[in-house]
Amino acid sequence: LTIDTVVQDAAELALSEAVNRFNGRSGMAIVVKVDTGEVLALAHYPYFNSNTYSESKPAQRRNRAALDIFEPGSTMKPFVFAAALDAKVIDPNKVIDCEGGKWNLRGKTIRDTHPYRWLSANRVLRYSSNIGTAKIGLALGAQPMYATLRKLGFGERPGLEMPSESPGMLRQPKEWGEFDTAAISFGQGIGVTGLQMVKAYLTLANKGMPRPLRLVLD
């Protein structure tokens, strides 16, 4: 396996501390080497001892990184920005009206945690504005956004050949309304797995070039 026991131990320790500090029920941590795509750590909490398998509960044995689907929220925003920059829909200094923190779109309200008004695109990302990101996503459009997400690996199994790998949930763009496009821009209305997210971020870290994840050494 590509797993590094030192990195795995550090990941498990950091993960357990974080879950307990924030009163979480479970968590996962994945560490990947950018230049090779090797998975150096794949940690889950709560733990179980594989040597005493029968003494653990199914929830403890669950491969959450491969199986659990969740809405990614703001961790989706960098991918929308990358697609918009690539399509020349925005440049880092383009100024966007963030509506003072509250924006009504198609009868539904999009909110920010702070009442921002005019922000440059790079500050929209820096301050994680849902409204600014939604406007960038709408300017990009449903089909280009969908194409980018598919290229990043969303909507398909990550390819580590684990029996529990989930493809997540990514609807066809013909099913997206204007509000759906806006919401997906800031990570709502889409379902992803931990392995999908780390594979997509690997692409960003690798200067936009996709690289397959590896769990077994050649």
* AA letter at 148: T
In 3-state terms, the chain is what percent helix, strand and coil (to 5)?
A: 45, 15, 40
**N-terminal to C-terminal alpha carbon distance within the chain:** 9
Q: Is residue 158 classed exposed, middle or buried when 0-12, 13-18 and 19+ CB atoms within 10 A define those classes?
A: buried
Selected catalytic residue, list 16, 74, 120, 128? 74
Question: If residue 185 lies in a helix (H) or strand (E), which one and from where to where?
Answer: helix 178-185
Gap between the Cα atoms of 197 and 151, Å rounded = 13
The answer to whether 74 is a known catalytic residue is yes
Catalytically active residues are 74
